[in-house]
Structures are given as C-alpha cells and as structure tokens.
Chains A and B, each alone.
Chain A
Amino acid sequence: MTALVLSMPDRRRVLALSIPFLAVIGSMAIGLLLIAASGKSIPDAIEAFLDGAFGTAFALGASINRAVALSLIGLGFILAARANLTNVGGEGQIAVGGIAATAIALWPPVAGLPLGLAVILPLLAGTLAGAVWGGIAGVMKVRFGTNEVISTLLLGFVALLMVYWCVQSTALLRQPQTSSSTLPESLPIPDSTKLPGLTNDPGSPLHIGLILCLLLALAIAIVLQRSTFGLRLRAIGLNELAARRAGMPGSILLVVALGIAGAFGGLAGAIMLQGEQFYLKAGFSSGYGFDGLVVGLLSRGSTIGVLAGALFFGFLRSGGISMEIMAGVPSALTVVIQGLIVIAIAGSVILVEKLEGGRR
C-alpha cells in the first residue's frame, strides 16, 4: 500500500466496486437511446431530470424525503435478510403504518400534546402497526411453517385494501361527506402532528425524517455487526437447526426479525404521511415498498449500500416525474430504466463475486 500503484488485489477490488456503476450507466444509456427514439430532445430530457432530481431546494428535499422512505424499508429488509428471511411486505407495512399514524394524528387529544409528543405518538403508532403486521408473518412462519415470502406479500394486499376501506368509510377515517364531491380521503392531519422541517427554508420539504433515518441506519449497522442479537440472527440465517441446538431461541428471533422489518416499514409509512402527504388516501404507498425491497436486495446486506441505493432511487423517481412534466418524456420510461438497472445490477453480481473471489 506504500506504492502509488495499486496492487493486483486492489485493482480487482476497484473493478468489482465499479461494476454496479457500469451497470447503472449502461441502463441509463439505453434510457437515453429510448428518449431519442421516441423523438424527444435528449439535452432537454437530461436538464429536466437533473432539475427535478436536485436542481432546486424543493427538488432536492423531495428526492431526499423519497430516499428516507426507501432506506427505512431497505434497512428493515437487510435486518430480516440476516436471518435468511425475505420481507416482501414493505408496501403493506407502509400502508398499515400510514393508517395508524393518521388515526392517532386525527385523534383530537393528540394534537395538543406538548414536548413533541404530538409528532412522536403517531410515528410510534405507525411503527407499532408495522411491527404487528410483520410479526403476524413471523408467527405464521414459526407456528405453521408458512413461507414468509408468500405471507408478507399477501398481507401486503390485505393492508392496501384496508387503506381503501378506511378512506371509503366515514365510520373509519373518511372525511365527513359535506357534498357529493367529497373525495374518499381522510381529513388533513393537524399542523402540530406534522414532522418539523429540517431547514428554515419554507420552500424545502426536507423534514427531520432524514435525521431519524440516519440514526436508525447507524443503529442497524451496530446491531448487525457488533451485537449478540445480530450474531444470533446470522446464526439462525446460516443454519437454523444448528442455532437452535446451540440454545438460541429460534422462534422468538424469527418473529422479532420480521417484526423489526415490519416496524421499519410502518415507520416509513408514518413518515411519508406526517412528512409530506398529510392525509390518507388510497394507494398512498405507490410502490415505495417494492422499490425499498429492491434497494435492500441490491445492497447485499450493507447499510451504506441501502442508503446509497435509496438516494439513487429517490433521485431517479423525482427526476423521472420532472422529465414527464417538463420534457414530455413518458414516465413509463423511468420505470423501464429502473427495471433495467435492477436487472443489470443483479445480473452483474457474478462478475463482482468472481473478482472478489480472486482476492481470497
């Protein structure tokens, strides 16, 4: 390492690290070709993309807020993945988190609480709801052997329809129907329950969810790498039988792992609701759960990887929306690019492993 020239293993390592970036660049190049093929101007599209992703304080804040929701899902995912559990239910956990946060935020006594409790209680309610939703899948797994991929996915559909039910029924969360044009939405939550902004700039939607997310990312990294709990999760994930024989409480660990993954999803839902949307409506989770799952999968268990991936997907989503509005590029194109990126990164893993394998 004293020489300026990289030694052979280091060069391999750099190559291995650069492969995901090459995959992303390749996918984006295909996207540009598609934009050109659809007869739109490429410079316009790129300008619109950059503008929408981080051109203004508003755009940057919106992108980061998106990334916060995605990272929370991704962090929960990698924790459960450590125990060899695949949490596909992020979308549903966001949904139940959003329902619980709205319900608590709209409960009259909460809005007047001091010391930030008005903000914290709905967040906690969302987290708890998500934890229960994830925990159900965990209990089903340890009691009945239900595959958690199936159960979390199906619980997700149940949760999405529960949102629909909540906003359709005035007995639940629908706003009072004053006219026939009252939309099936909840009342907006009171100002005191909204997440405080991070900057004094009223033009920036950036809220304290970012701080919360970074703290939780740190906590997850420490738990996974430095704690007994993290080690036990890993043991369960690598060989459940051996871990149980070694005296670890296998069933409890599995339920808790899925519960925590769910809690992160629920918190993401509460943050989305209290940070940006402010009222509950059907389909408010709009694919964040699945994007977060992809972020978690692509990070290969690394906390930094989750944050980087979430930020990237956040920019991609914001930029894509802006490309549609400003440059007339169909938003479906961003979806295509996103799909290509996921496939390209996943497909190039074998190359990365080969290069890293040569190091050992």
Chain B
Amino acid sequence: MEETLAIFIASTLRLAMPLMLAASGELVSERAGVLNLSLEGMMLTAAFFGALGSWATGNPYLGVGCAVGAALCVAAVQAWLSVNLRANQLVIGIGFNILALGATTLLYRIIFGGLSREEIPGLPKLSVPGLSDLPFRRRRLRCRSSAASSRIAPCP
C-alpha cells in the first residue's frame, strides 16, 4: 500500500512536470496577450530534437539544449508571423501544430527508419533532499528530472 502510494506520488510529480513547464511558458505569452496554440507543436519539436541531440551526442544535457534551441527557433518564426505580420494567432498556432506533427514524423522516418529500438541516454534520477528521506518502507520517493522516456518511440 505504502509502496503503491509512493509510486503514485512520484509518477504524479513526474507526469505533472511537462504540464507545469509548458503551462508556465503559456502563462508568459498570455500575459503579453499572445495566444500560443502551438504549445503541442513546440513540445513535439522539442521532444524530437531533445531525443535526437541526446542520441547523437550521448549527453542528455546537450539533448535538453537541442530541445530548447529547436523550440526557440519555432517560437521565433511563430512570433514573427503573429506579431510582426499580425497573422491570426489561432491559425498560425494550428498550422504549426500540423507542421510539427508532420515534420517530426518525417524526420524520424528519414533518420531512424521505420521502427527503431534505439536507446537514448536519459537524465539521471533526482533525489530531492528531505523528500527522498520520507519514511516509505521499501522504495524511496524519487522522481525523475526528465519526463522523457528513454526510448525513442515513433510518433503515431
């Protein structure tokens, strides 16, 4: 029971992490009055380039760097279109979501082929001082600092 609870809490935290990160980003753009509908597309792009960077360099932190860089590029183009060219933010957001879905699937097929079982290096597990020492009997409350799974999975 305790163990289940520990797993439950740890996985809740792990799964909430990407939501929290993405939502904080959305909060910033909402404050500035920009609707960023392509959050999904940005996450998809970042996930792909994060995995690619991590796989190519063997270093998960460089992978995170690639992910942030790729998403920044997408965001810059999107900002130019919706702020400088005053394109409809809703359309641009949907357009980028479609584009990201297509582009990541295409690149995956080109780089990794049909179905790959390539292992990519993930981020190390993080033990939060104090939190990890909570008295669960067998398993310590540990939480992965990355929500990305350590295998590259094909996009649907």
- Chain A residues in contact with chain B, CB under 8 A? 34, 38, 86, 149, 290, 293-294, 297-298, 330, 332-340, 342-343, 345-347, 349-350
Contacts and interface: CB of A to CB of B under 8 A. Distances in A.
Contact of B87 (A86, A340, A349): A349
A28 to B, nearest CB: 14
Given A349-B87, A349-B88, A350-B85, A343 B95 contact: yes
B102 A336 contact: yes
A141 B83 CA distance: 28
A336 B91 contact: no
Contacts of A334: 102
Interface of B: 81, 85-88, 90-92, 94-103, 105-106, 109-110
A130 B92 CA distance: 27
A300 to B, nearest CB: 9
A345 B85 CA distance: 12
Given A347-B81, A350-B85, A335 B105 contact: yes
Given A297-B90, A342-B91, A346-B81, A330 B99 contact: no
Nearest to B81: A347
Contacts of A298: 91
Residue among B100, B102, B103 facing the most chain A CB atoms (10 A cut-off):
B102
9 contacts: A149-B90, A332-B102, A337-B102, A338-B98, A339-B100, A346-B88, A346-B92, A347-B92, A349-B86
A345 to B, nearest CB: 8
A332 B108 CA distance: 10
Nearest to A340: B99
Given A335-B101, A338-B98, A347-B81, A294 B106 contact: no
A149 B89 CA distance: 13
Contacts of A343: 81, 87, 92, 95-96, 99
Residue among B92, B94, B101, B109 facing the most chain A CB atoms (10 A cut-off):
B94
Contacts of B102: 332-339
Contact of A336 (B81, B85, B86, B103): B103
B85 A347 contact: yes
A53 to B, nearest CB: 18
Across the A-B interface, give the 7 residue pairs with the lowest CB-CB distance, nearest first.
Answer: A339-B99, A335-B102, A342-B95, A339-B98, A336-B102, A332-B105, A343-B95
B98 A342 contact: yes
Contacts of B81: 343, 346-347
Contacts of A350: 85-87
B106 to A, nearest CB: 4
Residue among A34, A297, A338, A342 facing the most chain B CB atoms (10 A cut-off):
A342
A76 B143 CA distance: 46
B139 to A, nearest CB: 32
A339 B100 CA distance: 8
A336 B106 contact: yes
Nearest to A293: B94
Nearest to A341: B95
A335 B106 CA distance: 9
B154 to A, nearest CB: 11
Nearest to B103: A336
Contacts of A339: 95-103
A38 B98 CA distance: 20
Residue among A293, A336, A340, A345 facing the most chain B CB atoms (10 A cut-off):
A336
Contacts of A335: 98-99, 101-102, 105-106
Contact of A290 (B88, B94, B103): B94
Contacts of B92: 343, 346-347
Contacts of A349: 85-88
